[in-house]
Amino acid sequence: MERQIHAYACRRCGALHYPFRMVCRECGENGPHEFDPVPLPKEGTLLTFTFVHNLPAEYEVARLGLGVVELSNGLRMLGQLDIADPKLGMKVVGEVEVVRREAYARRYGMVFRAA
Ligand SMILES: [Zn+2]
């Protein structure tokens, strides 16, 4: 089964939110139980990025790329980059993968690669 990360659609006005919010940013009228999960698209444009060095041991990498991606529906999200030489404005596509291991726990997040 393909893993998904979800946005949250307001049941009153349809506005999409990611990450989750307690109250709709657009209409401000709904409560925290009035959102429907909607899978985030995985295609987007790389807006900015950085590389992090000297990570905690559980990352098991010497250098980690992180990028802010504007997804095809306009939402923006932070994800890891599996791109050796990223360029601003490049098209990327993400997959939900293990991004961190802590003892026996696996944390999932979006990993973007060049489209
Ligand atoms: Zn709303």
Tens of pLDDT, residues 26-72: 999 877 789 999 999 999 999 999 999 998 877 778 899 999 999 99
- Residue at 1 is within a domain: no
Q: Which residue carries 């990025």 as its tokens?
A: 49
Q: Do residues 18 and 47 share a domain?
A: no
Q: Are residues 80 and 35 in the same domain?
A: no
Distance 111 CA to ligand 1 centre (A): 29
d(CA 9, ligand 1 centre) in Å = 8
- Assigned token pair, 114: 């060049």
- Ligand 1 mean position to 8 CA, how many Å? 10
pTM for this structure?
Answer: 0.89
Say if residue 75 is in the same domain as residue 63.
Answer: yes
Assess whether 34 and 54 both reside in one domain: no
Q: Specify whether 83 is located in the same domain as 33.
A: no
- Give residue 38 CA to ligand 1 midpoint distance, Å: 15
Asked whether residue 22 falls in the same domain as residue 66, the answer is no
Q: How many angstroms is it from 16 CA to the middle of ligand 1?
A: 8
**In the chain, how many domains are there?**
2
Cα 7 to averaged position of ligand 1 atoms, centre (Å):
13
Q: Which domain holds residue 20?
A: 6-39
Strands 43-53 and 6-10: unpaired
Q: Is the same domain home to 51 and 18?
A: no
Same domain, 71 and 85: yes
Collapsing DSSP to helix, strand or coil, 36 comes out as strand
Residue-averaged pLDDT of the chain: 93
The span from the CA of 9 to the CA of 22, in Å, is: 12
Query: How far does the centroid of ligand 1 lie from the alpha carbon of residue 77, in Å?
Result: 20
Regarding whether 53 and 28 lie in a shared domain, the answer is no
